[in-house]
Amino acid sequence: MRTATSLTPGQGNQNSVDVTASQAGSGPTLAQRIDRLVEGLLRHWLLIINAALGIFVGLPWLAPVLMWLGQEAPGRLIYALYSFFCHQLPERSWFLFGRSFTYTLAEIERVSGAGGNFFALRRFIGDPEMGWKLAWSDRMVSFYGGWLLFGLVYGVVRRFRPGWRGLRWQTAVLLLLPMAVDGVTHAISDMWGVGQGFRDSNAWLAALTGHLAPVAFYSGDAWGSFNSLARLITGLLAAAGLMLWLLPFLDRLLRASVKHSQLSA
C-alpha cells in the first residue's frame, strides 16, 4: 500500500533551487578548466610566442650589461647558452660600453692574443676598455631579432586583415636564399683561416664595382662594411620570409582547432 508524500507549498521549488545551488557551488570540473586553459592558449598563441621571442632576443643584449655591472657569473652563463645558436666571433659582433661599436679582427687579435684561432676568438667576450660583445653575432641580431619584429608586424596585420594568408612558401624560400648564400660563402672562406679568405677582402666585389667604394667598405667585418650590411640585410629578409609564411600558417591551423572545439562542445 503506497503512502502518499505530501509537499508543503513551495517545497518542490525550494528543492530545485537547492540542487541548482549545489551544482553551481561545485564549480567547473578539472576537464572544463583544462578546456578553458587550452582554448585561452589557442586564442592568445601569438602573444605568447612574441613574449617568448622577446626574452630569447633580449638575453644576448643582457649579457654585456651584466658584465659591465660586474655580474660575471650570469653574464658568462648567457654567453655559454647562446654559443649553441651562433659562432660568436667578436669581429662579427656588436660591443656595448666600450670605445667602439665594432672592432677589426686585427684590433681583437692584438687585445685577446687569440691570433687566428677560431675557438680562441669566439671565447673572447671583451674587456672593460673595449666593452663587451653581444651574446651572438650581427647576423643573429637581424635574423632572430627579425623573428620578434615580424611577429609584432603580423600581430598588427592580422588585426586589420584577419583573412591574410601570408607569404607563399616559394616566396619564403626566395627570401631565405640570400642569407644561406652569404652564410655558406663565409663558411667556405673561413676554411682559408679567419680573416684570410675571399669574403674578408671581397676583392671580387671591388673588381665588379670598379673600386667605387673605399677599401674599408670591401674588406673586413666592421660596421658599415659590405659584409656587415650583407649580414644585416639578408638576416632581416630571411626572418621576414620565415615568419610571414609560418605565422599565418599556424594561425589558420589554430583557428580551425578553436572552431572545431567550439562545435564539439
Greater pLDDT, 34 or 143: 143
Q: What is the mean pLDDT of residues 99-117?
A: 91
Return all residues near 105 (Cβ < 8 A) that are at least 6 apart.
91, 194, 195, 200, 220, 221
pLDDT, tens digit (0-9, with 9 covering 90-100), for 49-90:
999 999 999 999 999 999 999 999 999 999 999 999 999 999
Sequence spans of domains, the chain: 41-256
| DSSP-assigned beta bridge partners for residue 127 | 131
Q: Does the pLDDT value for residue 177 go beyond 50?
A: yes
Least confident window among 6-20, 92-106, 178-192? 6-20
Cell of 194: 679567419
SS3 of 137-161: the string is CHHHHHHHHHHHHHHHHHHHHHHHC
Question: What local confidence, expressed as pLDDT, does residue 28 receive?
Answer: 76
Q: What is the mean pLDDT of residues 20-33?
A: 61
Question: What local confidence, expressed as pLDDT, does residue 29 receive?
Answer: 84
Q: What is the mean pLDDT of residues 163-189?
A: 95
Question: What local confidence, expressed as pLDDT, does residue 44 receive?
Answer: 81
Question: What local confidence, expressed as pLDDT, does residue 1 receive?
Answer: 46
Q: What is the mean pLDDT of residues 158-176?
A: 94
